[in-house]
Amino acid sequence: MEESSKRLGRFIRQRRDVVGINQTQLGDAIGREQKYISEIERGAVVNLPAPDVIRRIALELRCSEYDILSAAGYLEPHNPHPEHLFAEEVLEARRAAEGLRTAADALVRRLIPERAIPFGK
């Protein structure tokens, strides 16, 4: 894990430099102390940050969670869009689309009761 931690640290520092924020600013943005960011960048963390922390770091550093996991050596760098990382987002989008369909059906029934045909059919 030591080499992975150092690769992750280098990546975080490089992205932070590109974005133009310091450790304190990144720490504040993700709800952690500057010391934690410093530990990550030095490769002094024993475990990979929690998924919610990775998500917040990625958002602040304008990169993907995949980029962070790849830098840490957890994912292969040749596949930029592994399906399993997006599975939750796909399910959420499908639920939202179904909700919109149901709302559209109800609206059509209310506005045109004699043509109560389900939306999209």
pLDDT at 91 over 80: no
**Which token pair is 76?**
């292969």
Q: Provide the strand spans (E) within 4-114.
A: none
Give residue 84's pLDDT. Answer: 52
What's the mean per-residue pLDDT of the chain? 82
| pLDDT of 77 | 63
Q: Which two tokens stand for residue 78?
A: 């040749």
Residues 38, 49 contacting (CB under 8 angstroms): no
Cα–Cα–Cα angle for 29, 38, 46, nearest 5°? Answer: 105
Q: What is the pLDDT of residue 110?
A: 79
Helix, strand, coil percentages in the chain from 3-state DSSP, rounded to 5? 70, 0, 30
